[in-house]
Chain A
């Protein structure tokens, strides 16, 4: 091999190397360009003073502007000025910035938020020739973030609500427990299966039991506790009653008023609530009161009898003859005394009603005959007052009903006596007996002062007298209708009235014709 050949060879070699280098360079450039174009992320290259020198298609797509509208423009035209100046400054100082949120201006969507990365570019000699910014759209991420935050807030709110509800239910529970524990009445609750589920301290004291001994026990099991047995027996006597109230006398003279009520949820029985109200004291006071009235009334009866007999004998001439004047005054005194006797009898009757000692003696009887007797007794009085009486009787005989004749007569007497006393002058009276489907109805109607509207509710209460009645007639005990109501109700009947003040009033009662009401009478 010659030297020339060697040189020529070397030159060719060098050329070839250069060509290959150029080829490599061009290939690299194309590679970089393709990569630049391919990148789905917007990328731009800006000069150190912030002029956009190059962008990729992704930048165009996101911004909505064409390359010709972007290249050569200051970078702050596309970003929020403050954001981008900071980013540029930092990049030039530090060489890069990572994950910086920027506001990017787009043509169609306006301002969007992007996350940006930047990287400085220097030439070999170390001179800065610009920097790259690449970024991605945070709109969706932000949206999700907001949604997430909303859900989080909602969840927190819910948790807070739950917490509040829990607190409230705790409070309610504590309140209920406090009420039950401090209740002045004994309380016992049974669940749907009639097992004991709650007691309070007072109920435990009343029956001398411990909550833990009886909790969860059935009625049958509870019957083995002698102290609570009377209550269980009472409850078992009324298993189907939604609500009942009965008195229960325990050993040691304690009297309880037992109220039992079904607890319902959507028409299903969820348990039974039993309230035990201690009425021992009331009973004692009530007994003392009626004993006092009873005693006083009895004590009054003897002097009243003495006065009655004396006056009667004076009037009969047993103690010598009387002048017309003397007779007239004595007759009036006799009537006053009779009034006093009636008052005492009413008082005694009402105490007997309260003590449950108002004895009823029902016999099969004709109501018509009883009413007739009373009407006959009042004929004279009616005539004296100048009243017109109409007695409406059914043509056919009524079926006999079970009544206490004397007491029913007393009711008719009370009705008729009131009707006469409170009639207008020359007014009319109607006594009527009618047969209904299942009952006999007796009514007494008068034209007279009537019952004031606002006092109608109290007509059958003890000692009630109408405000207009007091003006008309100073006598009257206010006991007649109270006694009447008790008599009729003990017969299983109803009592009532209709009245228009100043016009007319009808008082009525009904007696059932069925035999079942004997059950009512047994209680008396």
Chain B
């Protein structure tokens, strides 16, 4: 069975690129443009991994994780943050909320996401 990955990202082009790259690797990709929709989707679809943006309208990535932590099932889904910035305070906050990794968008190429995802599913 294919591993299911949910990408929550408000920037459409980034979402498209990640979706393209990951589906080429054979993963089943779910996409969401905001946190609220993402939360509903993860409850229904139960993805194996979530790639989560931080700065989004309505609900930030941090708030999404806080909501996930309230749900015993969602709490167990691994989260990799894909964010615009990488300030230590932000990274610490994400770690305390249970994030597995933190990627800064301008610092990595999509191939690195594949490596991280593969490592996580290995």
Interface residues of A (CB under 8 A from B): 298, 301-302, 304-306, 308-310, 312-313, 316, 318-319, 341, 344-345, 348, 359, 361
Nearest-neighbor residue (CB-CB) of B110 within chain A: A309
Nearest-neighbor residue (CB-CB) of A308 within chain B: B106
Cβ contacts B78-117/A at 8 Å (1 or 0 each): 0000001101110000000000000001100111000000
> In the bound complex, what is the Cα–Cα distance between A308 and B89 (angstroms)?
26
Residues of A within 8 A of B55 (CB): 298
Nearest-neighbor residue (CB-CB) of B88 within chain A: A359
B14/A305 in contact, CB under 8 A: yes
A306/B21 in contact, CB under 8 A: no
B106/A310 in contact, CB under 8 A: no
B87/A313 in contact, CB under 8 A: no
B20/A306 in contact, CB under 8 A: no
A-B pairs under 8 A by CB, number = 54
Dominant secondary structure of chain A at its interface with chain B:
helix
Q: Which of B84, B89, B105, B110 contacts A313 (CB 8 A)?
A: B110
> Nearest Cβ distance between residue B8 and chain A, in whole angstroms?
15
B122 interface residue per 8 A CB criterion: no
Q: Which of B13, B89, B111 contacts A359 (CB 8 A)?
A: B89
A301/B88 in contact, CB under 8 A: no
B14/A302 in contact, CB under 8 A: yes
Residues of B within 8 A of A308 (CB): 105-106, 109
B17 interface residue per 8 A CB criterion: yes
| Interface CB pairs A-B, < 8 A, 29 | A298-B55, A298-B85, A301-B84, A301-B85, A305-B14, A305-B84, A305-B105, A305-B106, A306-B11, A306-B14, A308-B106, A308-B109, A309-B17, A309-B18, A309-B105, A309-B110, A310-B13, A312-B110, A312-B111, A313-B21, A316-B110, A318-B21, A318-B24, A319-B20, A341-B106, A348-B85, A359-B87, A359-B89, A361-B88
B14/A309 in contact, CB under 8 A: yes
> In the bound complex, what is the Cα–Cα distance between A184 and B22 (angstroms)?
64
> Nearest Cβ distance between residue A206 and chain B, in whole angstroms?
34
Nearest-neighbor residue (CB-CB) of A294 within chain B: B85
Residues of B within 8 A of A348 (CB): 85
Residues of A within 8 A of B18 (CB): 309
Q: Apart from A309-B18, A359-B88, what 6 extra A-B contacts exist at CB < 8 Å?
A: A301-B106, A306-B14, A308-B109, A309-B110, A313-B20, A319-B20
The winner among B18, B105, B106 for most chain A CB atoms within 10 A is: B106
B17/A306 in contact, CB under 8 A: yes
> In the bound complex, what is the Cα–Cα distance between A312 and B111 (angstroms)?
8
